[in-house]
């Protein structure tokens, strides 16, 4: 990937994280602060989240980019199956499947 693509991915991830952090902290800080302080504190949280996810995306893109000494390798199906079972263990016959509530 070239630097422009990496920066674009980082900006997108950072912007999404910043907006989400702003909305969450603004909603929570309304209960604790009054006036402009709510907006200022929420913007601080959004800036921190933006910078963190921008840096995280750039570092991950650079670390995971294939190089001549480290070519890209396909994920083996056995490893993929093991990871999926780890993330979602099989349900025993006497258990009920998990229920997901969407509000």
How far apart (Å, rounded) are the C-alpha atoms in residues 94 and 61? 44
Closest CA to 52 of 90, 7, 10: 10
The predicted-structure confidence for 15-68, as pLDDT tens digits, reads as follows: 999 999 999 999 999 998 888 999 999 999 999 999 999 999 888 888 877 777
Q: Which pLDDT belongs to residue 100? A: 62
Q: Is the dihedral of CA 78, 62, 7, 54 positive or negative?
A: positive
How far apart (Å, rounded) are the C-alpha atoms in residues 7 and 50? 13
Residues 6+ apart with CB under 8 A from 43: 22
Q: Element (H or E) spanning 103, and its range?
A: none
Model pTM?
0.64
Q: Is the pLDDT of residue 81 over 90?
A: no
């Amino acid at each position: 990937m070239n630097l422009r693509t990496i920066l674009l991915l980082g900006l997108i991830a950072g912007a999404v994280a910043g907006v989400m952090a702003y909305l969450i902290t603004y909603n929570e800080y309304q209960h604790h602060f009054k006036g402009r302080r709510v907006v200022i504190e929420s913007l601080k949280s959004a800036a921190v989240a933006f910078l963190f996810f921008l840096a995280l995306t750039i570092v991950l893109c650079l670390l995971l980019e294939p190089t001549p000494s480290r070519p890209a390798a396909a994920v083996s199906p056995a490893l993929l199956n093991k990871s999926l079972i780890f993330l979602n263990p099989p349900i025993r016959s006497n258990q009920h499947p998990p229920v997901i509530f969407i509000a």
